[in-house]
Structure 1
């Protein structure tokens, strides 16, 4: 039997619930990581990135554009650093800040393949200029449009053909997702997972891992990069509920992934809540010259906040061995203090629920997206009056060790952020009343939302990947 187009139908085992079962089996499979650790050691010897900070006005190929007041590349491509003036009506506030404008959609893609009957993910050991520890695990392809169309003048992006040639792929997931809305202006990346049946050799710097191995490695500080965590959150992991009577944390998490479990709020009501908040939002943002940002100043070769808060925009010179390009200069963002991305979770009738907040950010395409329960910079919040601090921050910071389910510091994307990361924290608590901007949701509901654009922000997807990694890791 053939289709009208002449193309064979996608096998049933590679779509729908069957795909989720195959992914769950991969998540339960955790071979020894000794070979991976050996590969990392070998890769460190021939893949090195050296990053040196230089003044913004000495970046080869970059300049301060007198016409726009932005820092831009001489080619007019890649990205620019611009000023953003933001105003909100409720509450009445206004501020200005630098922001990265990169008006192109990149690809963050996993290539997956069955090896000995188990799905494996082809992962890249990539040394980004902003990584604190050199190599981190990135997707098979992590490339901006400028990269994969050759604007940077470098080598071809490995394995890109599997993501651009429809005849060579079976799509598991494909959705455009936002980047950090407080750092990027309407930036989106295509988060993709495609399966192949072709024989694919892992080149130098690449390694095949099961989903279970990836989940285990998430617990290692600064190893699994932000792009990988974003795509992991888009995987369909629905695997059905465990045996009746099993009341451990892992079982509650598994029930939460099942599509037919009890929910505090029906998804249609959640969507209406999000739509209503976006409709009534009165946040307005417009780009302005960097020199128009009254709370920011160019000093010491960088752009910084006058009160020493938030972040700096710095310049770097990069020398790389084992990358598509051997040397380049660029601006980067360096945070002043570590951030916190924390989820509060609770069990409702044996099903784990996650407390999500709806958070507006000036760089988001659709005003507001679901964020972690707490998303902030604790050092800056300590300077605020108690009533002005984020809800639940104190509860998270005072969590007892017995209630903490995940706690690891993980890096932001190392291509634009220099030595910047956040503490990823999951804390189990009792039932808490919902403030207006918060809702208790199941993992199944969040998984449904990640199949569509602009519902979960980058920080939410990042810490959600960490929470979901606990589904097959034993009960607490």
Structure 2
């Protein structure tokens, strides 16, 4: 009797190639027997109709279990867990602004963002959750199977257990396709990280209420559904899902990922060594230019963001009612990649982003990443280079253009316009920018603190428009 050949390990070269082919096949699957798209639409409308969540702004005095500490005025939870709002003073001698002060969200815990994957009829499907977040409107979005901080899944809140978390805490007997710690918004969080995971299961998995198996092709189709002109969030795929999907070995131009070149790593290392950034903890009370009012902490000129408080009622969550602070941005952000094909390989124009919350000084970000309203009072030349180029790009060069909601657990009504723009023949490459093969970016994303969350969302958007042609799962083509 001849034993069957063992499946290649997920992290081996053969395992990566096999995963590459399976991801490609899932990316072209918009209809499967297990997950018909019309069935998703019905399920989604039912979930939205049943969503009775409610979020109300409240003054800080009505926060429960949150308070401003004596002396520093930091806003903290009574348990000392979850997150804190602290003051920070930032020094960047080489930057366009050499010093400033601001609030930052401190959340030292590493949370889990995890997708369960399973093959049905030879096609990878992912177990998605319809989840309400207090900062989005309406709050329901497609979230990962597990989206939880350590405080949540360890039960600090005293609520129900987080479904499926055991698959990501005890992973030895399962096939791990993705496992990497990634950063989140470095302008608002101080050194925030989440563990992005995709874990494949072979046996039966109970599909709980509010969960659904979906192929990658459906998620790509839904990515283009963004925010309405009235500001109501209709974006379906949430930020955490986008971050995980971007980490998959996706077959751009037939290459799932490549080891970053010495030239690329040298560019990063030199820039990190050159930048002198110092972030000092200072009291939230008395921050220069910031004012605390009964219902907000805001900059004196109304720019950037405010810290506000909300009361949340959400019947499907582990805890059904609570209060908390949220960071509320002022204005809609813009994050954009210029992209082009170089010798048959997809490239993007990357920008080195220095942000106060970064663990290691800077990370690779989009070509353009800003909130235009923050530059409205400045001369046009003071704005980000290439902002006009991406905003004024002709329609025929727009590969992707959608306003998407950002993370809703800590931010209120945070939205960004995400654009992927086919570059023209203009050779202009501003300082701090560089054309990078997408395959090398994916190689960098096997490691922490190299590619920021806005760039990862854009890579997920690029996946949705550069999927393989049906029937050719080993090649990166386009719809």
Look up the match of 2:261: 267
1:47/1:275 Cα in 2 relative to 1: closer, same or farther (>3 Å)?
same
Q: Which runs of 4+ in 1 moved over 6 A?
A: 11-14
**1:273-312 matched pairs, under 5 angstroms:** 273-312=267-306
Residues 1:143 and 2:148 aligned together: yes
Deviations along 1:23-69, one digit per CA (max 9) or x if unpaired, are 11111111141111111122223333210100123201110001332
Look up the match of 2:203: 198
Residues 1:57 and 2:57 aligned together: no
Among candidates 420, 424, 429, match of residue 434 of structure 1 = 429
Look up the match of 2:238: 225
SS, match of residue 285 in structure 1: strand
**1:437-452 matched pairs, under 5 angstroms:** 437-452=432-447
Alpha-carbon RMSD? 2.0
Structure 2, unmatched stretches of 5+, are 1-5, 227-234, 470-477
Residues 1:166 and 2:171 aligned together: yes
The separation in 2 between residues aligned to 1:430 and 1:18, in whole angstroms, is 35
Among candidates 371, 379, 386, match of residue 392 of structure 1 = 386
Deviations along 1:183-224, one digit per CA (max 9) or x if unpaired, are 100010000011010101221100100011111110111211
Deviations along 1:326-345, one digit per CA (max 9) or x if unpaired, are 11110001111000011111
Residues 1:214 and 2:209 aligned together: no
How many angstroms does 1:74 deviate by?
0.8
Look up the match of 1:119: 124
How many angstroms does 1:470 deviate by?
1.2
Number of equivalent positions:
451
Look up the match of 2:472: none
Look up the match of 2:450: 455
Q: TM-score, normalised by structure 1?
A: 0.91
How many angstroms does 1:8 deviate by?
9.8
The separation in 2 between residues aligned to 1:417 and 1:329, in whole angstroms, is 14
Structure 1, unmatched stretches of 5+, are 1-6, 239-253
Residues 1:66 and 2:64 aligned together: no
SS, match of residue 27 in structure 2: helix
Look up the match of 1:235: 248
The separation in 2 between residues aligned to 1:201 and 1:213, in whole angstroms, is 21
How many angstroms does 1:407 deviate by?
0.6
How many angstroms does 1:386 deviate by?
2.2
Look up the match of 1:403: 397
How many angstroms does 1:13 deviate by?
10
How many angstroms does 1:303 deviate by?
0.4
Moved more, 85-94 or 309-318: 85-94
Residues 1:350 and 2:347 aligned together: no
Q: Do the aligned residues in 2 keep the contact of 1:131 with 1:411 (CA within 8 Å)?
A: yes
1:314/1:423 Cα in 2 relative to 1: closer, same or farther (>3 Å)?
same
The separation in 2 between residues aligned to 1:62 and 1:198, in whole angstroms, is 43
Q: Do the aligned residues in 1 keep the contact of 2:160 with 2:319 (CA within 8 Å)?
A: yes
Deviations along 1:368-399, one digit per CA (max 9) or x if unpaired, are 00001000001222322122111100111111
Moved more, 432-441 or 387-396: 432-441
Deviations along 1:233-270, one digit per CA (max 9) or x if unpaired, are 100113xxxxxxxxxxxxxxx4274658xx9xx72111
1:350/1:146 Cα in 2 relative to 1: closer, same or farther (>3 Å)?
same
Q: Do the aligned residues in 2 keep the contact of 1:256 with 1:443 (CA within 8 Å)?
A: no
The separation in 2 between residues aligned to 1:203 and 1:101, in whole angstroms, is 33
How many angstroms does 1:417 deviate by?
0.7
Q: Do the aligned residues in 2 keep the contact of 1:258 with 1:444 (CA within 8 Å)?
A: yes
How many angstroms does 1:473 deviate by?
7.1
